[in-house]
A and B are shown apart, each in its own frame.
Chain A
């Protein structure tokens, strides 16, 4: 990179290229090392921090760290309590919501670190050419989360209603099968409807987060390009980047919250009988 002339195109391309490692034949057998490493490190930091605080949790007067963690956990728990009323939420759903929320917030928040600082670090310390710092701006990450939730949704659906009940729901809901002479047509419609629903849920779930984060990342990159075009560009680009970063705080938290809420809602819906 250093030897070439940096153009806007090469700059954008550089920041939007994954650190991909091919581990087999074909396009699928590729790992985005940057997404995975960043995501796992952030997960370890976030969940590990909470675990570290919670391990020493006391029922007495909590310290500042414990109060912070409790605040966060009770916030998540309140959301789950309002949505999920189909059993013991403490066993699975609430921990899932907490994991999703903390992890996604941290992954989204990587947007706040200026991309070129990260690029410098990964290039000069880790000796990697490309490094995309925001794992949630990688569609693989958001799909991984959404599809995991999707599988959980199907799993709980079958667990609660039984395989027969689940299949019955797929063919007989939401339009029912009455009157009888219309039944074949209704079954087709029910099936189509459910397929659309089952496809659209993970798609909207993952693409909403991905789109927001990707757009945020690109706007930052564009502002940094402007900031490199001279004094006026530096001043206005930086000022706008500050504004965008402040607005982006809202987006980061909001998208993480939406992602968590949808996770809970989808799992709760899987527990409902039609």
Chain B
């Protein structure tokens, strides 16, 4: 256990090993470790960003769906309104058509009635003439009694 030159030799070896480690070993690994730490940090940041984006997209889709729903509601209500209008229009059209038809029918009926009255009047007049002929037992000269006949005809009106 005596101190000798070995001490200096070991110190030199120690110095060389320190130099080598500081120069060639430590920086290499620290570079790798720091690069990996950066990668991990970037990855975490990207994941965080992705999560935020996902949340934003969810919100966006919610508003879109709400808008679409409101629009659909609008469309449905306007369609319902339109349908109601159409029904009303159809109703009123049908009503006026019906009224028109009724009026036509009534006019026709009035005409028919008038025509029937006319022919009845003719028949009554002729019947009356015939009746009078029978009563008088003689011929009534239509020409001679034209005034009386037309007066009778006018009375039957």
Contact = CB atoms under 8 A, between A and B. Distances in A.
Say if A and B assemble together: yes
Interface of A: 20, 23, 27-32, 35-36, 39-40, 43, 47, 50-51, 54-55, 57-60, 62, 66, 69-70, 73-74, 90-92, 94-96, 98-99, 103, 135, 138-141, 143-145, 147-148
15 contacts: A27-B4, A39-B10, A51-B25, A51-B28, A54-B32, A60-B36, A70-B29, A91-B22, A95-B18, A95-B26, A103-B17, A143-B3, A144-B11, A144-B13, A147-B11
B14 A32 contact: no
Given A141-B6, A143-B7, A50 B13 contact: no
B79 interface: no
Contact of B8 (A57, A70, A144): A144
Nearest to A103: B17
Nearest to A143: B7
Contact of B5 (A29, A54, A74, A95): A29
Given A54-B25, A135-B10, A31 B5 contact: yes
Contacts, number: 124
A147 B13 CA distance: 13
B34 to A, nearest CB: 8
B29 A69 contact: yes
Interface in B22-51: 22, 24-33, 35-36, 38-39
Contacts of B10: 35-36, 39, 135, 140-141, 144-145
Contacts of A143: 3, 7
Contacts of B11: 144-145, 147-148
B25 A140 contact: no
B117 to A, nearest CB: 116
